[in-house]
Chains A and B, each alone.
Chain A
Amino acid sequence: MTNSGDVVVATDRLTKRYGKGEGTRLAVDAVSLTVRRGEVYGFLGPNGAGKTTTLRMVLGLIRPTSGTATVLGRPAGGPEVTERVGALIEGPGFYPYLSGRDNLRVMARYRGLSSDAAEIALERVDLAKRGNDKFRSYSLGMKQRLGVASALMGDPELIVLDEPTNGLDPAGMQDMRRLIVSLAESGTTIVLSSHLLAEVQEICDRVGVINGGRLLRESTVTELRGGTLLRVRATPPDKALAVAMRIAGDDGVRRIGPVENGRGPVDDVETLVLSLPPAMAPEVARVLIAEGADIHEIALLERSLEEVFFEMTTPVAATPTVPASVPNL
């Protein structure tokens, strides 16, 4: 055992380089990530970031150029590891001429499970009614669900799902999220790759953000989104700004203009974003009133994972989606 029992997946400077000489391409560059037992780990990155390649190495489907991947305390890809792991990687791969049910039966036989396991899995992803239809006749969403069914057969300790909601309609996505949450509640560790930030934000405990083959950040969703901010709208604007800067400091205030709905500004009251914890809201209100300002709104403002993600993955020179702080007095 190279890891403590709490670590389910650990990679150490995992690297995959394709090609030789000048045509070489670094798909995964020294990724060191850790997945702990019982958590839902979100592996987040744009298309082509290296998510699938990393997961393939974790599953032992491809060999790393350098670095190591350890799963359940053993080198990735050995039979003693694989039999305790369920996976859906880069789209569901099944025999098109077999029915969904028979496809699962085949996989159950590989795992040494009975046909009952296939039946239970089929029920779990709501495919039992279409179980006798050929795999090739399935919609993309149904194929995806069959892939997840195959991954959860035999109650593995770790389930790796590569873009599991790909091709699902909104209802299907919701069902998939519920299924993942229920698996996590039963104690299964789940690694989930996605380019859908809302999805990761909703169901993951921790996330690893990958772009261009490099792991940019690994932390809890809350940490990643950073501290909460206060949104303050008060008039007159110069008085509000002065108060805000006095409490939050010169660098702690951003002016982002009036609040808009879909059709334009709601009113002409300017919005200030203050880098302050929620507990400071009463203090801000007190001082604003003491200075004779009118308060239109004080609210908590949380950054979405999407905003954080784009900040992280967009080159510095590009315009971030969150307006820059330009206090102009």
Chain B
Amino acid sequence: MNAILNSARAELLRLRKWPAVWVTLVAWLLLASLFGYVFNYVAYKTGGSNFASEELGNAQIFAALLPENLPAVLVQGMPMFGGALMMVLGAIAAGNGYAYGSWKTVYTQGPSRSAVTAGSLLALTLFVLGVLLATLALFATYTGLIAATEANTIVWPAFSEVAKSFGAGFLVLEMWMLAGYFLGTVARGPALSVGLGLVWTLVLEMLLRGVGGLLGPVETFTQVLPGTAAGSLVGAIASGDPSAMDTPGVLNVLSGPTAAVSVGIYLVVLALGTMLLIRRRDVA
């Protein structure tokens, strides 16, 4: 256990001082702000339509901006670019170490490869939690300000709703981070793993779901894919918000609990797969 904590402390130090990590965080906060509040707020103020759907009325857009809707807005961007960014982070955190030769140095320090990997994943998990907390704080500020200036009363969502949304967001981001870490480990480098991962999340799953509408077996197959699980989990949280449901990547294919279990299975499989691969492999 000590070795895992030592490894996590070491990994946190190098992640904290890595500009790429902060770029990822800022990119996410920027995109999430734009798609979560800024565009909708501008649409509401100018009387235009929602970026994702032209059918939503101004009242619905306004409702989406209010604090009560915070749980839905918090997670709506996660199946698409939130997950993609976390995957990039996982991929570079694992993959760059092979290009730098730093894993080789780390593996000769003392902790076993399992402890090093567990520590590394622990550090990245803390980062994912930090991302969620930062997003929550930022969004609560936005929606609080909007409500204070535009609405008569401020109604905050129930704590349990926020907690559920936070938990779902964590599962989704953590799964994509682990997927990136796994790909980075398999490819032993950042470029190929980031490329493959992004093609998978942003293109392939969507295409497959499109084809799935025509072919039964493909549809069944898409139901077990990670993107489907993540999208459905977020869909279950955001089901009351038509604006969030229109966000690309947000789905209602699986029920909330099924999606959560599916994401959970991916978490375990990806973490174990990474661990096994790292333990067994020659470090050249």
Contacts and interface: CB of A to CB of B under 8 A. Distances in A.
Contacts of A56: 282-284
A95 B111 contact: no
Contacts of B11: 106
B19 A110 contact: no
Interface stretch (B97-105, B184-192, B243-251): B97-105
A93 interface: yes
A97 B105 contact: no
Interface residues of B, number: 31
A285 interface: no
Contacts of A83: 109-111
Contact of A89 (B10, B17, B108, B109): B108
A23 interface: no
A111 interface: yes
A94 B105 contact: yes
A125 B17 CA distance: 24
Contacts of A79: 3, 110-112, 115
Given A61-B107, A63-B282, A107-B106, A112 B100 contact: no
Contacts of A92: 101, 105
A130 to B, nearest CB: 17
Interface string A53-79: 000100111110000000000000011
B104 A93 contact: yes
Most chain B C-beta atoms within 10 Å of own C-beta, residue among A86, A91, A97, A102: A97
B14 A110 contact: no
Contacts, number: 96
A79 B104 CA distance: 14
A106 B13 contact: yes
B209 interface: no
Contacts of A98: 14, 17-18
A70 B118 CA distance: 26
Contacts of B3: 79, 112
B282 A62 contact: yes
B7 A93 contact: no
B111 A110 contact: yes
Nearest to B108: A87
Contact of A61 (B2, B104, B115): B104
B100 A93 contact: yes
A296 interface: no
A110 B103 CA distance: 12
A85 interface: yes
Q: Is the interface of A mostly helix, strand, loop or mixed?
A: loop
Contacts of B2: 112
Contacts of B116: 110
Contacts of B53: none
B101 A110 contact: no
Contacts of A219: none
B177 to A, nearest CB: 19
Contact of A93 (B13, B18, B103): B103
Contacts of A147: 105
A6 B218 CA distance: 65
Contact of A150 (B9, B100, B105): B105
A28 to B, nearest CB: 13
A105 interface: yes
Contact of B14 (A62, A78, A95): A95
B284 A82 contact: no
Most chain B C-beta atoms within 10 Å of own C-beta, residue among A63, A102, A110: A110
B283 A62 contact: yes
B6 interface: yes
A25 interface: no
B101 A111 contact: no
A16 to B, nearest CB: 9
Nearest to B109: A110
B283 A61 contact: yes
A109 B6 contact: yes
Interface in B132-184: none
Contact of A97 (B19, B101, B104, B110): B19
Interface of B: 2-3, 6-7, 9-11, 13-14, 17-20, 100-112, 115-116, 282-284
Interface of A: 56, 59-63, 78-79, 82-83, 85-87, 89-98, 102, 105-107, 109-112, 147, 150
10 contacts: A56-B282, A56-B284, A61-B104, A93-B100, A93-B105, A97-B17, A110-B7, A110-B110, A112-B110, A147-B105
Given A56-B283, A111-B110, 12 more contacts: A61-B108, A79-B110, A89-B104, A89-B108, A91-B101, A92-B101, A98-B14, A102-B14, A102-B17, A107-B105, A109-B7, A110-B109
